[in-house]
Amino acid sequence: MVLNPMDWVFPVIAGVFGLLIGSFLNVVIHRGPAMWKLVHEDAPRGNLLAPRSYCPACRKPIPRMHLIPLASYLLLRGRCAHCQVKISARYPAVEALSAIFAAFAVMLFGIGFSAVLAAILFWGLIALTAIDWETGYLPDAITLPLIAMGLIANIGDRFASFPDALIGAAAGYGAFRLIAWGFERLRGIEGLGQGDAKLLAAIGAWAGWTALAPTVFVAALLGLAGVAIAHLHGHKMAAQTPIAFGPALAAAGAIVFTVFTSSGVPSLIR
């Protein structure tokens, strides 16, 4: 295998850009839930542009040079320069994932609009995963635009045919509401949220209705694996424990979208 510079230069550029997007996503993940009134906050966190990034513990603004994605986390060894409080590993994780998936999008689709759109989908899924993980919500402010973008992206049959995308969005929402209804009858409590249905609708809008069943199947496997890992770490889960299904669904969506809409093989190893 001979590596052509063209094969890695553009993924690397996309990755650096992805780091910056990741650092913006961290602001969305931190401030969004309070902005959208999903969680109650005594001290407002501001909007997405102001105030400047500050330490959540001591509320001191973070110096500009410490805002360099990933590098500053490593340099500061994961602690605030002022109060030494530990900075959540979510910050570097979101930045690294945003970079990796931006590079991945370019490797899958080549340089062009499809790669930009795919990267936006991946970034949306990363933000949803982190927000569901931290708050238990999948905000409409992200799921609904993702549904619309998926449909618009497929007007020219880009990732799926437009009828398939339209059916995917409708059936994704409907199917999940049906699963949630069955789940409630079985366990007697509401276990799956409206947000999950909208997320599945978004995946249907991007990848078409044929992607729905595989997505639910892969998500269920990932969810079960998550429950098993939690058990191994000694977390007792009662039958009533609400399951954050969003992260499993988002991960499954990214996998199935990749397999269904591209050759699934990044250009580096093609």
Residues that bind Zn ion (CB under 5 A): 55, 57-58, 80, 82-83
Q: Measured from the CB of residue 30, what is the shortest distance to Zn ion in angstroms? A: 14
d(CA 188, CA 173): 21
211 is written with which tokens?
A: 């992607």
CB of 23 or CB of 215, closer to Zn ion:
23
CB of 83 or CB of 148, closer to Zn ion:
83
CB of 57 or CB of 265, closer to Zn ion:
57
Cβ(87)–Cβ(78) below 8 Å: yes
Q: Measured from the CB of residue 59, what is the shortest distance to Zn ion in angstroms? A: 7
Q: CB-based contacts of 61: which residues, under 8 Å, 6+ apart?
A: 51, 52, 53, 54
d(CA 27, CA 137): 16
CB of 61 or CB of 163, closer to Zn ion:
61
Specify the 3-state DSSP secondary structure of 41. coil
d(CA 102, CA 105): 5
Q: Measured from the CB of residue 54, what is the shortest distance to Zn ion in angstroms? A: 8
Cβ(19)–Cβ(69) below 8 Å: yes
Compute the CA torsion angle 153, 156, 157, 159 (nearest 10 deg).
-30
CB of 88 or CB of 210, closer to Zn ion:
88
Q: CB-based contacts of 10: which residues, under 8 Å, 6+ apart?
A: 106, 111
Q: Measured from the CB of residue 85, what is the shortest distance to Zn ion in angstroms? A: 5
Q: Measured from the CB of residue 253, what is the shortest distance to Zn ion in angstroms? A: 35
